Structure 1
Amino acid sequence: MELVKKIELLIEKYFAAETTVAEEQELRNYFSQTDVAPHLQAYQPMFVYFSTEQQESYSKTVSLKPRRKKYLAWISVAAMIAIVVSVWVANPFQPNNLGTYEDPEIAFQETQKALEFLSANLNLGIEEIGHLKEFEQAKNKILKNN
């Protein structure tokens, strides 16, 4: 009876992804026996399957030859052409327009606007990094290494 309680606790831990390799081996050993508690027999095929499939192996050799990716070079060339064309279309040969202001007050106000815009976007980026950290923590809980 004590063994059955221990197995029930291990099953709960197993489905919560909190078991160790030794505990999982104990579960496989228990369910490979013929005398399993009646209310736990539903789990027996799963653990027996895991035990038998663990013994299988792939015997053929796998060649890991790197493939040359010629299309990547062309993608980078196309990207550079797109950047050059977009810069030329946005600012076609305007040497006199240097983006300077005659009035220092207007220059100061425009600089403040630009820095506020930059600050707002940086704050959004910092929030996104926080979301990425939360995602990373959740992923590590799900894909826990044993």
Structure 2
Amino acid sequence: MELVKRIEVLIEKYFAAETSMAEEQELRDYFSQTDLAPHLQEYQPMFVYFSSAQQESYGKTVSLKPGKKRYLAWISVAAMVAVVASVWMSNPFQPNNLGTYNDPEIAFQETQKALEYLSANLNIGIEEMSRLKEFEQTKNKILKNN
């Protein structure tokens, strides 16, 4: 009867995450027996499973190639630099065109030009993003195959 009381206390501590490794081993040992108190039998499958799961291991060796990650990181950095440089080179900032217009008609025409310019650059940016998505998909295929 004293053992059952101790096991009940240990179960309470176990569910409160306050047990030590030795106490958990005591619980596993108790529930591996066939003669259990009737009100504690509901916990037996859980502790039997934990005992068997503890013995499981992964037998295959995992080979890690340390230099490969560095190589892929530099490829992604180079791709980003290429994208930024191509967008900047195709449309460099022009500080001479900054100013105000006295004639509203000229201001309207210049605003239309600026919006067309912005639209064209957004379309180029969207195309570049689709290229990045293709690059990402290709990279994922390569990483999965190796």
TM-score for both structures, normalised by structure 1: 0.50
Of the two structures, which has the highest relative contact order with CA contacts closer than 8 Å and spacing of 6 or more? 1
TM-score for both structures, normalised by structure 2: 0.50
Q: Structure 1 or 2: larger helix share?
A: 2
